[in-house]
Amino acid sequence: MKLVTAIIKPFKLDDVRQALHEVGVAGVTVTEVKGFGRQKGHTELYRGAEYKVDFLPKLKLEIAIRGDLAEQVVEAIQKAAVTGKIGDGKIFVSSLEEVTRIRTGETGPEAI
| Chain residues that interact with other proteins, rule: CB under 8 A | 44-49, 51
Q: Which is nearer to other proteins, 10 or 24 (CB)?
A: 10
Q: How far is the CB of 52 from other proteins (least distance, A)?
A: 8
Nearer to other proteins, 48 or 105 (CB): 48
CB of 50 to other proteins, least distance (A): 9
48/84 with CB nearer other proteins: 48
Rg over alpha carbons for the chain, rounded to the nearest Å, is: 17
Instruction: Say if CB 60 and CB 7 are below 8 A apart.
Output: yes
Contact 59, 10 (CB under 8 A): yes
Tell me how far, at minimum, the Cβ of 46 lies from other proteins, in Å: 5
Residue 78 beta carbon to other proteins: minimum distance, rounded to whole angstroms: 32
With beta carbons less than 8 A apart as the criterion, state whether 70 and 11 touch. no
Measured between alpha carbons, how far is 109 from 66 in angstroms, rounded to an integer? 6
Q: How many CB atoms lie within 10 A of CB 73?
A: 22
**Beta bridge partners of residue 33, listed in sequence order:** 58
Looking at the Cβ atoms of 54 and 106, the one nearer to other proteins is: 54
